[in-house]
Chain A
Amino acid sequence: MTWLVVRQHRGEAIVAALALIVLTLVVLPSGLHLHQLEATLRTSGCIGTNPRPACPATFDAFNATSRSLTGIVPWLNFLPGLAGVFIGAPLLAREIEEGTWRLAWSQSVTRRRWLRDQLLATGVLVVLATAVFTAVVTWWLTPLNHVDGRFASNGHGFDFYGIVPIGWAVLAFAIGLLAGTLARRVVPAMAATFGAYLAIRLPVEFLLRPRYLPPARLWGVPPSDSQPLDPNNWIFSQDLVAPHSRSILSSSQADMVQHMAQAGSPKYSGQEATQASIAHYLQAHGYTYVFTYQPADRFWIFQGIETGVCLVLASLVIIAARRWVLRRLT
């Protein structure tokens, strides 16, 4: 069986390797540039535990580079899905579509063993390729994560860090396997896999992920120059709270208060109200802020929960596909 799985999947392995090399070459220039800028920022004390307030020139260059990237980065979330589209879906669909399952299963190897070895070989390929992919993108985005925080605040830390990408790739692979078994043809199976991947991925990312644990709350005075929470926390909202109560103002109420603060600011005469002057007004009138956020130290707990969700779903899907192949396929 080793010979067969190597012969059947070496093409996919080569394509995956080439794709990863191309990806590395593409991200290398901007990655090096970002790392260099980050080093400059760090040595001049602009980032770190107590960032100095004025670091304009280097920060502008850094922001310009990172802004050009943040448009591309979310699209990379589709890549783990490709493990399902290009490796999972054709695995059984191609054998069925071209009739070669009759050749494969009429040798002296049981269908059970054939399937086990096929899944092992392609599974290892998927995990390895995703691990390399994650390593490359993590290196690329490290400067951004250092400045913006890796925990989902801008949506590009969590997805390409640690074990979550592997969880998603394995789930996509499992979906592809089942879709191929049911659709029995390669192209419809690929399309169904991509659709199903997105149908699971998007709700999990946007609805489930913020709620893995109940968010923490921090009550505080109106912010002036320094944020009370560093960017490694995943901050959902920063709400204005009415004086002497714990009721959060609606956004229109908050706007009104901000407006009043602007109008009542002692420094208002003719010039723009500063953040500090607004804060001063709000503080004087008894307003406070509440931060709703996921603390930075939950990063790996969330990684574990999301990977766990993916792997449990993947196991269920693989078990279903396996049952179908062994009992119902013909």
Chain B
Amino acid sequence: MTAAIEAVGLGKEYGSLWALRNCFLSIPTGRIVGLVGPNGAGKSTLLSIVMGLTHPTCGNAFVAEGLRAGTEAALAEVAYLAQDHALYRRFSVEDHLSLGRNLNPRFDYAFARSRIDEVGIPLARAAGKLSGGEQAQLALTLALAKRSSILLLDEPVASLDPMARRAFMAQLMTTTADTGATVMLSSHVVSELERVCDYLVVLARSEVQVAGDVDDLLARHRRLVGPATSTDAPYGVEAVIERTDTARQSSLVALVSGPVPDPAWESHALSLEDLALAYLGSPDAACQPRPRLTVTEGGWT
């Protein structure tokens, strides 16, 4: 295994409801992964399992090339930003930095201090008295200063206003670009992730619907506009994800195996948002590398 994040048959059942099931993922090191899906699709559960906060009902999650999630070695390799920012309300900002320093072997205290100064948060203030934006910045600072090779962010900008969202994402990207960390961030708003991701995972109804490299996915999907008369898809189309028919023309979002030669059909490139929305609109469609079985000397793995 040479993956930063690997999920093998992962599932989590709460009561009789599966929050996540049948999840296979293999995310290469250094990617910025967008995890999208409607609310309740299992995004938080997946991130929580990879962090080691949640025990999967079945399957296994591995990080940093084969460390089992939740073990001591794995914990040091993964940083996590919770959706609600999870800060101790009575702890001061400085207390939180001390917490990071005392509980993490590689914690970069100097970086954390300078970043807090940069953002302009008073060190002595209790975390409960910070604004939503300041809390988000403090929580992100703690996660970044952990200096782990994997960074998991659960809806990092959901609580921020639109201006702060853009600034937050920009800062996140400049900081992680330097370290080469693998980043996985979830959102139910696809447009937020479009500019930053180079890997996409779409979760729907507790299962992985799409997983793959963004360039690869965009190359294999086209918007095809053609005559409304034909009910069939043109030659070269592997699967139709979404179909919109008007009186004059049909518009398809399709998975293609190559160029579509039919002159009756116009082929356009898709944006990542269009692609994700097309899949989210038709939950039965799927596009992901099939789980691989590899034979090693020890047998099946």
Contacts and interface: CB of A to CB of B under 8 A. Distances in A.
B53 A105 contact: yes
Contacts of B142: 103
Interface string B137-168: 00100100010000000000000000000000
A20 to B, nearest CB: 23
Interface in B30-67: 48, 51-55
Interface in B61-94: 70-72, 75-76, 78-80, 82, 84, 86-89, 91
Contact of A106 (B75, B84, B91): B75
Contact of B103 (A8, A100, A102, A107): A107
Nearest to A106: B80
Nearest to A8: B88
Interface residues of B, number: 33
Contacts of A100: 86-88
A26 interface: no
A102 B53 CA distance: 7
Contact of B82 (A2, A99, A327, A328): A99
A64 interface: no
A1 B48 CA distance: 22
A109 B103 contact: yes
Contacts, number: 75
Interface string A108-140: 111100000000000000000000000000000
Contact of A330 (B54, B89, B98): B54
B5 to A, nearest CB: 15
Contacts of A106: 51-53, 75, 78-80, 82
A7 interface: yes
A3 interface: yes
Given A3-B98, A7-B95, A98-B89, A109 B75 contact: yes
A4 interface: yes
B89 A110 contact: no
B99 interface: yes
Interface of B: 48, 51-55, 70-72, 75-76, 78-80, 82, 84, 86-89, 91, 95, 98-100, 102-106, 139, 142, 146
